[in-house]
Amino acid sequence: MTRHRDTAEFTTLKEAEAQVDLHCFVFSSGESNWLGSCLKSVFNSSRIAAQAGLSVKMTLVNWGSDEETKNWLSEFLEPEWECAELTGARLSEARNEARRLAKGRFVAFIDGSDMIGQEWLHLAAEATEREPAIYRPEALVWFGPDAFSPNGFEFVLQPEVPPEEAFLAKKNPFPSGFVASREIIEAVPWPCERDDYGWTEVDWWWNCLTSSQGMSQRIVHGAVHYRRTSVCWPTHRTSVERPGPVLRSTAGDR
């Protein structure tokens, strides 16, 4: 039987939405139990943000996940998380569903293979409030099965302010999650994949579209994202594109 909400309930829902400062989305597509550490890191970061006075809403967008990941979620997903199930979706559909669901002043996008530092949500929201932009962590730490060996990890600094030519690179120069104002998220939809043209890098394409509309990309100093790979680094370095510039000029750094 369908239950209809009364006027008082709708008022309460609107008030609850108005109280959201930061809506954090995690995108899952087959990370299995790796997803657990991502969700835990986001939960811990949201607690730090709450201590700074921010209200954080957390939504998991589960798009095209395999059975192992679905089984893990059915047993271990904490009740603080809302879940949006998109069966057979592609990345652009998942990103745009998050755009549709987004509440609050700021929005965070994080992939399920990543872990975020505890200060990320708090610091990124502060930066976005000071100066509207698309904010990413200063550093990425990629690590494999043996993070304690000399080849077990790679530390990558993202550019302070990316040059124009960064958007014309061979690969997406920003392989990490971000925080931006909801106005930015709502203004630019993710383009759909075009397999016939070979257009499948929709995040890269979205970066180009936002840049063409004057929306800048910036970093949050002291913020780190951690990303795992299932192969050892010597193999990884020779088989895929590097995740970004390893060195950054110190000129103009604050």
pLDDT in tens, the chain (254 residues): 333 334 443 333 344 555 899 999 999 998 888 899 999 999 999 999 999 999 999 999 999 888 898 888 988 999 999 999 998 899 999 999 999 999 999 999 999 989 999 999 999 999 999 999 999 999 998 887 776 776 677 888 888 877 777 777 777 778 889 999 999 999 999 999 998 888 899 999 999 999 899 999 999 999 999 988 775 544 344 443 444 434 444 444 44
Q: Write the DSSP assignment of 168-218 as a string of letters.
A: GSSS-S--S-EEEEHHHHHHSPPPPPBTTTTB--HHHHHHHHHHHTT--EE
18-136+162-219 belongs to CATH 3.40.50.880: no
pLDDT the model gives residue 249: 42
For the chain, which residues make up each domain, given as ranges?
A: 18-136+162-219
pLDDT at position 122, please? 96
Per-residue b or e along 158-194, where b marks 16 or more CB atoms closer than 10 Å to that residue's CB: bbbebeeebbeeeebbbbbbbbbbbebbeebebbebe
Round to whole Å and give the CA distance between 224 and 103: 25
